[in-house]
Amino acid sequence: MAISVSAPGKLMILGEHAVVYGYPCIVSSVDKYLTVKGGRSFDKNDTFVTGKIRDTSFIKSAIDIIRNKYKLKERIFLETESDLGEYGLGSSAAVTVATVKLLNELFGLSLTNQEAFELSYKAVLQAQKKGSGFDVASCIFGGTIYFDGKSKEVDVFSHDPLPIIVGFSGNKGDTMIMIEKVAELKKKKQKLVEEIFNSIGKLVGQGKRAICKKDWQRLGKLMNDDHQLLIKLGVSNNKLNQLVGEAVRAGAYGAKLSGAGGGDCMIALVSDENRAKVEAAIRNAGGELINVEVGKGTLINY
Ligand code: MEV
At residue 118, the 3 state secondary structure works out as helix
Ligand 1 atom nearest to CA at 264: 2
14 plus 154 within the same structural domain = yes
140 plus 173 within the same structural domain = no
- Determine the Cα–Cα distance for residues 97 and 133; give it in Å rounded to an integer: 11
pLDDT of 95 above 80: yes
- Which pLDDT belongs to residue 183? 98
pLDDT of 60 above 80: yes
- Which pLDDT belongs to residue 192? 98
Contact residues of ligand 1, CB 6 A cut-off: 12, 16-17, 19-20, 131-132, 134, 175, 178-179, 259-260
- Which pLDDT belongs to residue 301? 85
Domain at 79, CATH number: 3.30.230.10
179 plus 236 within the same structural domain = yes
In contact, 17 and 230? CB cutoff 8 Å:
yes
Q: Kindly report whether the global pTM for this prediction surpasses the value 0.85.
A: yes
Residue 51 — very low, low, confident or very high, per pLDDT cuts 50/70/90?
confident
223 plus 130 within the same structural domain = no
183 plus 143 within the same structural domain = no
Residue 124 — very low, low, confident or very high, per pLDDT cuts 50/70/90?
very high
Share the mean pLDDT of the chain: 97
Q: How many domains does the chain have?
A: 2
Average pLDDT over residues 97-124: 97
Q: pLDDT of 213-242, one tens digit each?
A: 999 999 999 999 999 999 999 999 999 999
Q: pLDDT of 144-180, one tens digit each?
A: 999 999 999 999 999 999 999 999 999 999 999 999 9
Residue 256 — very low, low, confident or very high, per pLDDT cuts 50/70/90?
very high
27 plus 149 within the same structural domain = yes
216 plus 275 within the same structural domain = yes
- Determine the Cα–Cα distance for residues 211 and 90; give it in Å rounded to an integer: 22
- Determine the Cα–Cα distance for residues 214 and 143; give it in Å rounded to an integer: 15
- Which pLDDT belongs to residue 53? 78
194 plus 96 within the same structural domain = no
- Determine the Cα–Cα distance for residues 145 and 13; give it in Å rounded to an integer: 10
Which of 26, 134, 230, 265 has most ligand 1 atoms within 8 Å of CB, for mutation? 134
Domain carrying residue 115: 3-159+297-301
- Which pLDDT belongs to residue 186? 98
Ligand 1 atom nearest to CA at 235: 10
Q: pLDDT of 126-148, one tens digit each?
A: 999 899 999 999 999 999 999 99
Ligand 1 atom nearest to CA at 134: 8
153 plus 170 within the same structural domain = no
Domain at 216, CATH number: 3.30.70.890
Percentage of the chain surpassing pLDDT 90? Answer: 95
Q: Cα of 261 to ligand 1 centre, how many Å?
A: 9
19 plus 141 within the same structural domain = yes
221 plus 280 within the same structural domain = yes
- Determine the Cα–Cα distance for residues 19 and 165; give it in Å rounded to an integer: 23
Average pLDDT over residues 262-270: 98
> Strand locations in the chain, DSSP E?
3-14, 24-41, 47-49, 75-82, 144-148, 154-158, 164-168, 254-258, 265-269, 288-290, 300-301
112 plus 192 within the same structural domain = no
Average pLDDT over residues 188-204: 98
Which of 23, 25, 175 has most ligand 1 atoms within 8 Å of CB, for mutation? 175
| Range name among 52-56, 105-109, 184-188 with the lowest pLDDT average | 52-56
Strand-pairing partners, residue 103, are none
pLDDT of 52 above 90: no
Residue 255 — very low, low, confident or very high, per pLDDT cuts 50/70/90?
very high
